[in-house]
């Protein structure tokens, strides 16, 4: 990992330790099977990028407090619920290099586990009467569900437009990062104009985050999923959409043929080669960097009590990470 991410983790070490304790506590169940699955999930934690955005957004305007930790737990509960459900939808057997919940306990249990995690998050807000958090996250749940359905409906059609692609990733991915930044700030301030700006900042970084994820499909870094996984699943991401738009009719026919009937690694290696040649990777990279810069411009224009260096480092990690 880049040193800038390590510096952020070091800066937030005590807060992340406290968050992890509270996150595990928020998942506890009296049902033995559920508690076993919760333990499995906690032990295979990810990078905790979203809770870090919550913590750093709070830190920007005041002191990280009890409400901040509850907000970080709420965001991570929702995020984990969506990952469990996504693996069912995508029929994925691995998550973060380990067997997924649906692979170990089958789809019925995985769906219920996702529902349980979502309910625990909502109850956490209700119990503490944090209706502002509930409003923000309920909107994110709506957006993420719509994005997933929109992707299932349209993203695999060859005539998918860039506008539809951006609508999908705004709903599926950017909405939760936007909520993370808003909730973090809302745990220490009530200025609605500032909260709106933090929401837009988070959305821009969320768009960059998803484009980076899409680019991994064309690269060689280990990201917990096989190379060309999205291509094999016929998901049309930004590098491919651009290549379809700018390529000659003969190249376009070759691309479409591989998308529709390609099966071997050789087919998809060829498709990656074409996308590279047509400038799809560079185009998507430029778009990703554009969203990063737009996000940082918004951040630096917001009056805050502390410098933005750690939050900027986390933003840079989002677009520079190797996994």
Q: How far is CA 189 from the centre of its chain?
A: 25
- What is the enclosing helix (H) or strand (E) of 110? helix 101-127
What pLDDT was estimated at residue 70?
A: 95
Q: Are 261 and 277 in contact (CB under 8 A)?
A: no
CA 106 to chain centre: 24
pTM of the model: 0.92
What's the CA gap between 106 and 33, in Å, rounded? 13
User: Residue 124 corresponds to which tokens in the numbers above?
Assistant: 């956490």
Cα four-point dihedral sign 280, 282, 285, 289: negative
Sorted by where each starts, the structural domains of the chain and their CATH numbers stand as: 3-320 (1.10.600.10)
What are 27-36's pLDDT values in tens digits? 888 888 998 9
Q: Which of 136, 109, 128 is nearest to 36 (CA)?
A: 109
pLDDT in tens, 258-308: 888 777 778 888 889 999 999 999 999 999 999 999 999 999 998 877 778
Q: Give, in order, the Cα–Cα distances in Å from 36 to each of 32, 92, 283.
A: 6, 21, 44
Single out the residue of 116, 323, 60, 299 nearest to residue 198, CA to CA.
299
- Confidence band of 161 (pLDDT split at 50, 70, 90): confident
Strand partners, 94: 99
Helix (H, G, I), strand (E, B) or coil at 94: strand
Residue-wise pLDDT for 94-118, tens only, equals: 787 788 889 889 889 999 989 999 9
CB 4 within 8 A of CB 321: no
Condensed to tens digits (0 to 9), the pLDDT of residues 258-270 reads: 888 777 778 888 8
Instruction: Decide which of 206 and 224 is more confident.
Output: 206
d(CA 158, CA 168): 15
Residue identified by tokens 């992340």 is 16
Asked whether the predicted pLDDT for residue 92 surpasses 50, the reply is: yes
């Amino acid at each position: 990992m880049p040193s800038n991410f390590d510096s952020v983790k070091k800066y937030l070490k005590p807060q992340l330790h406290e968050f992890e304790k509270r996150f595990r506590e928020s998942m506890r169940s009296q049902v033995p099977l559920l508690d076993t699955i919760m333990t499995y999930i906690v032990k295979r934690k990810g990078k905790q990028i979203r809770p870090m955005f919550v913590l750093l957004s709070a830190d920007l305007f005041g002191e990280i407090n009890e409400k901040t930790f509850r907000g970080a737990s709420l965001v991570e509960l929702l995020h984990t619920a969506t990952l469990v459900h996504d693996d069912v939808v995508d029929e994925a057997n691995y998550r973060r290099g380990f067997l997924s919940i649906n692979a170990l306990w089958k789809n019925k249990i995985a769906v219920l586990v996702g529902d349980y995690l979502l309910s625990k998050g909502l109850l956490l807000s209700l119990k503490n009467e944090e209706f502002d958090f509930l409003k923000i996250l309920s909107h994110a749940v709506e957006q993420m569900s719509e994005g997933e359905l929109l992707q299932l409906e349209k993203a695999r059609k060859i005539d998918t437009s860039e506008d539809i692609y951006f609508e999908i990733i705004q709903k599926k991915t950017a909405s939760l990062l936007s909520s993370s930044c808003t909730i973090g700030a809302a745990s220490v301030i009530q200025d609605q104009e500032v909260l709106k700006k933090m929401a837009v900042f988070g959305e821009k970084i969320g768009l960059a985050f998803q484009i980076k994820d899409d680019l991994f499909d064309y690269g060689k870094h280990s990201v917990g999923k096989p190379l060309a996984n999205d291509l094999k699943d016929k998901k049309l991401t930004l590098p491919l959409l651009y290549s379809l738009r700018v390529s000659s009719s003969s190249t376009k026919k070759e691309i479409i043929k591989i998308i529709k009937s390609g099966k071997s690694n050789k087919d998809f290696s060829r498709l990656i080669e074409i996308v590279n040649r047509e400038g799809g990777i560079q185009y998507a990279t430029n778009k990703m960097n554009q969203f990063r810069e737009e996000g940082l411009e918004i951040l630096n224009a917001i009056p805050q009590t502390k410098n933005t260096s750690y939050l900027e480092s986390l933003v840079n990690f989002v677009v520079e990470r190797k996994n």
